[in-house]
Amino acid sequence: MTPEETVLDYYEALRRGEPLYPYFVERAETWKAAISTEYSGYDAVSEALREQSRTTDEWTVESEALSVTERGELALFTDAVRLAWTNVETGQRFGFDSRWSGVLEPIDGDDEEWGFVQMHVSAPQTF
């Protein structure tokens, strides 16, 4: 799978409610930041993603501007993504436009399988 296919497959896994932690590289340097959270290290990232999967459902993920650039052993991506989901504990629906960026690298040196080393998701604020 190419880096671009990995990003798109991650979006599909999110929509389907499948586990997301396998998309991240198992290293201490793995990092993920979301709208109001930040996780450092694979263990923290994977635990946060498990909790997210447990407490959310009915995801809408609409990619609007995916760009992926490969640079040797790394790939960089950016995207504008329309997100929506339901909190399964309260039934409340959330949604907003977001910006995504990150870094992928081959897993175990295998150019056929890529994983996220860094991922950042933010939402623009208006004043």
Instruction: Tell me the pTM.
Output: 0.93
In a domain, 106, yes or no: yes
- Residue 96 to residues 82, 99, 117, 122, Cα–Cα distance (Å): 6, 10, 25, 10
Mean pLDDT over 39-50 rounds to: 98
pLDDT of residue 113: 93
Q: 70-114 pLDDT, tens per residue?
A: 998 999 999 999 999 999 999 999 999 999 999 999 988 767 899
pLDDT of residue 76: 98
**Side-chain-side CA neighbours of residue 26 (13 Å):** 2
pLDDT of residue 112: 85
pLDDT of residue 109: 73
CATH number of the domain to which 21 belongs: 3.10.450.50
**In the chain, what percentage of residues exceed pLDDT 70?**
97
Q: Domain containing 7: what range?
A: 3-122
Q: What is the tally of structural domains in the chain? A: 1
In a domain, 127, yes or no: no
User: Rounded to the nearest 10 degrees, how much is the dihedral formed by the CA atoms of 87, 92, 93, 97?
Assistant: -80
